[in-house]
Amino acid sequence: MNLLAKALKAWFYLGALLAVALTPAAYANGDMPGGPKVNQLDFPAPATKIMEEIHWLNWFMIVICAIIFVGVFGVMFYSILKHRKSKGAKAASFHESTTVEIIWTVIPLIIVIAMALPATKTVVAMKDTTNSDITIKTTGYQWKWGYDYIKGQGEGISFISTLSTPREQVNNLAPKSLTYLMEVDNEMVVPVNKKIRIITTANDVIHAWAVPAFGVKQDAIPGFVRDTWFKAEKIGTFRGQCSELCGAQHAFMPIVVKVVSAEDYSKWVDAKKKEMAGNADDPSKTYTLDEQKERGVKVYAANCAACHQANGKGAGAFPAMEGSKVVLGPKEAHYQILLNGKNAMPKWSGVLSDGELAAVMTYTRNSWGNKTGEVIQTQDFVTARTVTK
Amino acid sequence: MSTISTTHDSVHDHAHDQPHGWRRWLFATNHKDIGTMYLIFSFVSLLAGGVMALGIRLELFQPGLQYFRPEFFNQLTTMHGLVMVFGAIMPAFVGFANWMIPLQIGAADMAFARMNNLSFWILPVAAALLFGSFLVPGGAPAGGWTLYAPLSLQMGPGMDLAIFAIHLLGASSIMGSINIIVTILNMRAPGMTLMKMPMFCWTWLITAYLLIAVMPVLAGVITMVLTDRHFGTTFFSAVGGGDPVMFQHIFWFFGHPEVYIMILPAFGIISEIVPAFSRKTLFGYSSMVYATSSIAILSFIVWAHHMFTTGMPVTGQLFFMYATMLIAVPTGVKIFNWVATMWRGSMTFETPMLWAIGFIFVFTMGGFTGLILAMAPIDIGLQDTYYVVAHFHYVLVAGSLFAMFAGFYFWCPKWTGRMANDARGKIHFWGSLIFFNLTFFPMHFLGLAGMPRRYADYPTQFTDFNMIASVSALGFGVMQVYFLLFVVLPAYRGQGVKASDCPWDGAKGLEWTIPSPAPFHTFETPPQVDFDALMHPSNSPTHAH
């Protein structure tokens, strides 16, 4: 006992030492709206019928398992207490009973079948993606999500959804918000009580699109399409995270779905369509250096800073932009690497528009210590693409 | 009985004498020496993998990125998995097999003694390749121990090193398995029919068949990754008509039997220890054999339960869900048999028995979460979350590792000639059990709340449970260092109580008929034993089944 006390004491000091050695990260303490609660113990509150069923199934399993657990280990611990040599127990000699063996094979079999039956119903329901009101294609990129509304109200809407948590919070230079790592610049917006079919695919490696409150998790596989569905019954914001290891920034590509009323959805669709029309790049337009840099800094923060860092100095395997041979070298090579990628650098053609590419290229060529003074125009990328082909 | 080996030593010429110095180990053909080398290798791997685990837990102690960049964090998770599976657990069980199978069946050595040497000495080479991957540009593989394509196609040359390492480890496993199968089938003492064989030999016989069946499948799939990476094939790239999901199908066709490769020998060890300390014969011996075989056969038809979120057709999901749940039945039979063995026994609780009971208790919890994960709808909520991490650590740490600790304390007298210190063994047991549960139990909550696995950073709401897990993981690691320094080394240095030939009064079997420590050569002439009398001494000598 003395030894135990000593061990505990040593342990306490070690813990205290550790606590001092590790500077505490500053963060807001509280439940995340639409995300996990502080020290949450169970699945998130369901926002769909499917998730309600999953909740029920989980508790149904926990209760059955707990009963078996108590039964089996009740017998074992009774035996441990009563049938010990120190209490004078003499060992019995029985070591076989076909009847008993059959009983404890058949009863578990029946229990397992009883468990499988309700699960079957839910599996069939989860796989039924027919008769959807709206179909949205979600594309996984390293490391962001692309949403294309391809059928139903809002058809034609298309945007990229990227983590909006500032890097300073990740690097412990700023206090972390309540929605740390589970907030995006452009949320997926869907109407309440409508069946939404999600088609998943990916551009590079496998990702998984997941929203726990909906009971949805579907791998997004490059070159293939898969589908799943949900019908949210609550208005609100629901959050999830990429759930298949997809490389370095796997933890930094969350999913946020905003469920709104039918009217609000119509309003959002109209606004989004207007915004897209406004954003459409006119290749004939010529921008100034400052205009391009202003747009470019946003594109850079959302797409490039994860690897090359906001200060342009790169990190580890990811090269610095400042003083880079590609960034300061001939434009032709720079177009190619942006459009087609190279090694760990993804292909940005099809992800970013020509206007965005021109802006971010201008930004990198005229930021930090780089001062080429060159302004890249949308038309330059239109031309570069034809060269590529 | 105990004099057989010693009397025979003198009759043989010097070729059979014990070699000395480094030659004894480099050119080892003796099953006991090779077994010891396997165990040392796997313990070093356990510590190396443990240091990586502590690196992971250090980064996850708090939200935010503190110590490692995410790319290095991913290398740690990947290498932790590979090292623990291929470097720690699998070689450790082969070490147990090398030591104990010849002693348990009354064979002089393993069937292919020189191949045995080769299958061990491949391991350090493979380990050098695997650890060397940290030093090449781009670092170690970072795509998870499952090496899923196409992510594994993006990795640097570290991935190629890992692929070669796994090839070598696979070759070693296959050679080891062939050796074990031939030894068991051909070299049993006269009178020891298969159905009179110790359970540990049975579980290893079945495991060896599983290994031979699936290691080539793993070798195949990583070779396909290799050719995709360097030789222009497109097995896993849709651009050339391949399919990334095919990687997962092939990988898990290996991977699921692999799970049982890592647990069946553990079942065998527990089936030796529980009867010994209950002073009763194992209940339902033949049903144990059938249950083990059923688990092995079922393990080939459940692989896609690792892939419920890939988007299988509904019939596929249902089939794999049902087949998986079916495994609960034979596994349950095993648990019930162990409990029935304890029932009305005359139990004592020396360290091996504590570990065995700890194993049954905690492994069953991992079994239940396995059953819950088998339900496809629940799995879709839990796939790739910390719930899965909790589940497989409950079956691999509290399962395989705890059973090996039980086996060490049980057979340590035979290996070293000394009793492992019982008081220290109990500290090791209780410390490990408590820290293990404090580390991994909170991960169930994290998983339910949605924290994905393989994340270098997490939302702040998950902080408290991660802190508990990190601090406890350190405690668990410290307990294993304690085990090495204060239990293992003293026993090997000859400190502690000298062990008699059979230090456990309830232990049965041929290994307890030879001296402790086991002499260099044992059973050079097959022992003549009445196995019924040996295994059931409480019954009359004329007892018949």
Answer yes or no: are the C-beta atoms of B242 and B236 closer than 8 Å: yes
Q: Identify the active-site residue in B31, B32, B80, B229.
A: B80
Here the tokens at position B414 are: 């035979």
B314 neighbourhood in chain A, CB within 8 Å: 123-124, 127
Rg (C-alpha) for chain A, rounded Å, is 28
Looking at chain A, which residue has its C-alpha nearest residue B462?
A39
**Is A89 within 8 Å of chain B by CB?**
yes
**Are A40 and B445 inside 8 Å of each other by CB?**
yes
**Is A345 within 8 Å of chain B by CB?**
no
In this structure, the number of other CB atoms found within 10 A of the CB of residue A148 comes to: 15
**Is A271 within 8 Å of chain B by CB?**
no
Q: Is B80 a catalytic residue?
A: yes
**Is A183 within 8 Å of chain B by CB?**
no
Answer yes or no: are the C-beta atoms of B126 and B169 closer than 8 Å: yes
Strand partners, B339: none
Q: Which helix (H) or strand (E) holds B146?
A: none
Looking at chain B, which residue has its C-alpha nearest residue A175?
B64
ipTM for the complex? 0.89
Instruction: State residue A18's pLDDT score.
Output: 65
- In this prediction, residue B532 has a pLDDT band, given cuts at 50, 70 and 90, of confident
A76 neighbourhood in chain B, CB within 8 Å: 339, 342, 357, 360-361
Distance of CA B455 to the CA centre of its chain: 26
Q: At residue A15, what is the residue type?
A: G
Q: Identify the active-site residue in B453, B454, B482, B524.
A: B453
Q: What is the pLDDT along chain A (389 residues), one digit of tens a residue?
A: 567 777 777 777 777 666 655 666 778 788 999 999 999 999 999 999 999 999 999 999 999 999 999 999 999 999 999 999 998 888 888 888 899 999 999 999 999 999 999 999 999 999 999 999 999 999 999 999 999 999 999 999 999 999 999 988 999 888 999 999 999 999 999 999 999 999 999 999 999 999 999 999 999 999 999 999 999 999 999 999 999 999 999 999 999 999 999 999 999 999 998 888 877 777 778 888 888 888 888 888 888 887 888 888 887 778 888 888 888 888 888 888 888 888 778 888 877 888 888 889 999 999 888 888 888 888 888 888 877 65
Q: Is B228 a catalytic residue?
A: no
Is residue A180 helix, strand or coil?
coil
Instruction: State residue B12's pLDDT score.
Output: 46
Query: How big is the A-B interface in CB pairs under 8 Å?
Result: 338
In this structure, the number of other CB atoms found within 10 A of the CB of residue A249 comes to: 18
* Burial of A60 from C-beta contacts in 10 A (0-12 / 13-18 / 19+): middle
Looking at chain B, which residue has its C-alpha nearest residue A91?
B345
Which residues contact residue B380 at a Cβ distance below 8 angstroms, ignoring those fewer than 6 apart?
A54, A126, A215, A216, A217, B308, B309
- B540: pLDDT strictly greater than 70: no
Instruction: State residue B414's pLDDT score.
Output: 95
Q: Is B5 a catalytic residue?
A: no
Q: Which helix (H) or strand (E) holds A160?
A: strand A158-161
A41 neighbourhood in chain B, CB within 8 Å: 445, 448-449
* Burial of B17 from C-beta contacts in 10 A (0-12 / 13-18 / 19+): exposed
Q: At residue B40, what is the residue type?
A: I
Of B237, B326, B461, Cβ closest to residue A31:
B461
Better pLDDT: B274 or B505: B274
Closest-CA residue to B223 (of B215, B142, A207): B215
Q: At residue B357, what is the residue type?
A: I
Q: How far is B35 from chain A (nearest CA, A)?
A: 32
Here the tokens at position A33 are: 């709206």
- In this prediction, residue B8 has a pLDDT band, given cuts at 50, 70 and 90, of very low
Better pLDDT: B195 or B541: B195
Question: DSSP for A77-141?
Answer: HHHHHHSBGGGTPPPP-----HHHHHHHHHHHHHHHHHHHHHHHHHHHHHH---S-SEEEEEEEE
**Are B461 and A7 inside 8 Å of each other by CB?**
no
Instruction: State residue A136's pLDDT score.
Output: 96
Distances (CA, A) of A134 to A24, A189, A211, A303, B20: 45, 11, 17, 28, 77
d(C-alpha B460, C-alpha A26), whole Å: 10
Q: Is B145 a catalytic residue?
A: yes
Cis peptide before A283 (omega within 30 of 0): no
Phi, psi of B518 (to 5 degrees): -60, 130
pLDDT tens-digit series, residues B292-307: 999 999 999 999 999 9
Alpha helices in B187-310 (DSSP H): 199-230, 244-261, 264-278, 285-298
Distances (CA, A) of B311 to A46, A52, A89, A201, B315: 22, 21, 56, 11, 11
Please state, for a pLDDT cut of 90, what percent of chain B lies above it: 87
d(C-alpha B153, C-alpha B244), whole Å: 11
Q: Which of A48-52, A383-387, B173-177, B256-260 has the lowest mean pLDDT?
A: A383-387
- B109: pLDDT strictly greater than 70: yes
Q: How far is B477 from chain A (nearest CA, A)?
A: 13
Q: Is B272 a catalytic residue?
A: no
Closest-CA residue to B512 (of B369, B414, B442, B443): B414
Q: Is B306 a catalytic residue?
A: yes
Strand partners, A191: A260
pLDDT tens-digit series, residues B13-69: 444 567 788 888 999 999 999 999 999 999 999 999 999 999 999 999 999 999 999
Instruction: State residue B18's pLDDT score.
Output: 74
Q: Is B256 a catalytic residue?
A: yes
A92 neighbourhood in chain B, CB within 8 Å: 280, 343-345
Kindly tell me the number of DSSP H helices and DSSP E strands found in chain B: 22, 0
Q: How far is B50 from chain A (nearest CA, A)?
A: 18
A245 neighbourhood in chain B, CB within 8 Å: 74, 143-144, 148, 151, 384, 454
Distances (CA, A) of A142 to A41, A174, A187, A247, B60: 31, 25, 18, 7, 22
Answer yes or no: are the C-beta atoms of A372 and A334 closer than 8 Å: no
Instruction: State residue B544's pLDDT score.
Output: 39
d(C-alpha B125, C-alpha B136), whole Å: 17
Exposure pattern of B299-311 as b/e (b: 16+ CB <10 Å)?
bebbbbbbbbbbb
**Are A43 and B381 inside 8 Å of each other by CB?**
yes
Q: Which helix (H) or strand (E) holds A199?
A: strand A196-202
Mean of pLDDT values over B160-181: 96
Q: Identify the active-site residue in B57, B188, B229, B256.
A: B256
Closest-CA residue to B270 (of B88, B84, B451, B404): B404
d(C-alpha A101, C-alpha A228), whole Å: 43
Q: pTM score, two decimals? A: 0.88
A91 neighbourhood in chain B, CB within 8 Å: 278-280, 344-346, 506, 538
Q: Is B305 a catalytic residue?
A: yes
Cis peptide before B517 (omega within 30 of 0): yes
d(C-alpha A227, C-alpha A222), whole Å: 13
Please state, for a pLDDT cut of 70, what percent of chain B lies above it: 95
**Are B457 and A171 inside 8 Å of each other by CB?**
no
Token pair 């009101």 in the structure block, residue? A133
Answer yes or no: are the C-beta atoms of B142 and A246 closer than 8 Å: no
Mean of pLDDT values over B456-482: 95
B459 neighbourhood in chain A, CB within 8 Å: 32, 35-36, 179-182
Closest-CA residue to B285 (of B198, B174, B345, B399): B198
Helix axes A49-82, B351-374, angle to 10 degrees: 160
**Are B346 and A83 inside 8 Å of each other by CB?**
yes
- B9: pLDDT strictly greater than 60: no
Of A80, A96, A123, Cβ closest to residue B318:
A123
Q: Identify the active-site residue in B77, B172, B299, B369.
A: B172
Selected for mutation to probe chain B from A83, A86, A138, A167 (highest B CB count within 10 Å) is A83
Instruction: State residue B92's pLDDT score.
Output: 97
A212 neighbourhood in chain B, CB within 8 Å: 381, 450
